[in-house]
Amino acid sequence: MAVPATFTSADFSGKFTQNSSLSDSMDTILEHQGVGWVKRKAIHAISVALSLRHYKDSAGVEHIEVSRTIKGSSSEKAEERILDWKDTRNNDGMLGPVTGRARRIQVSELEVNYLKQGWTTDTVQHGVVQMYTHSDKPWTAIQCWGVEEIKGERRYTRRVKFTGPKGQEVEARMVYDYLGPL
């Protein structure tokens, strides 16, 4: 389901679920992150609902609160992204210790060509949200959030440039169905 015409990368607030038929497979990335085969198959079999709350604090710094709920379950996992480009360290249950940072950046400033492609005019105008994450394993992932037009519909997407522990490079896109406002 498409996002409303009023939805832009200036405010990602809403409810979403990943559209597996429009998204690229994340299996290779998960494998290079050290996630075992059985766990990868389980991840692909479940449906996760995302709730994003995007706001600015009193100092004008952007925050995105992300809540993940497995459909049919009452358990919820929440995390907050502060768009200040400062490192934060988390212990991800599946991936172990990871360090990440986030910011808003203009598409023209991105260094990876794949991350510059496909964005709508309004996303280019407002910029994308960029996440940079790395692990001690070691791997790195650069992820950009924005809006793309796919099959004639505006969609919330995330583009990922992943580099694995042995230098393996993977580019992938996640496409989301819009479920409605918060």
- Summarised one tens digit per residue, pLDDT across range 6-47 is 999 999 999 999 999 999 988 888 787 877 788 777 766 677
Question: Is 135 within a domain?
Answer: yes
CB atoms within 10 A of CB 27: 16
The domain tally of the chain equals 1
Question: Is 5 within a domain?
Answer: no
- Summarised one tens digit per residue, pLDDT across range 77-94 is 889 999 999 999 988 667
Range of 147's domain?
A: 14-180
Amino acid of residue 146: G
Question: Is 80 within a domain?
Answer: yes
> Among 13, 23, 16, 20, which Cα is nearest to 1's?
16
CA 17/CA 8 separation, integer angstroms: 17
CA 60/CA 14 separation, integer angstroms: 20
Look up the CATH number of the domain holding residue 172.
2.40.128.20
Question: Is 4 within a domain?
Answer: no
Cα–Cα distances in angstroms (integers) from residue 90 to residues 43, 79, 82, 93, 128, in the given order: 20, 10, 13, 9, 23
pTM of the predicted structure, to 2 decimals: 0.92
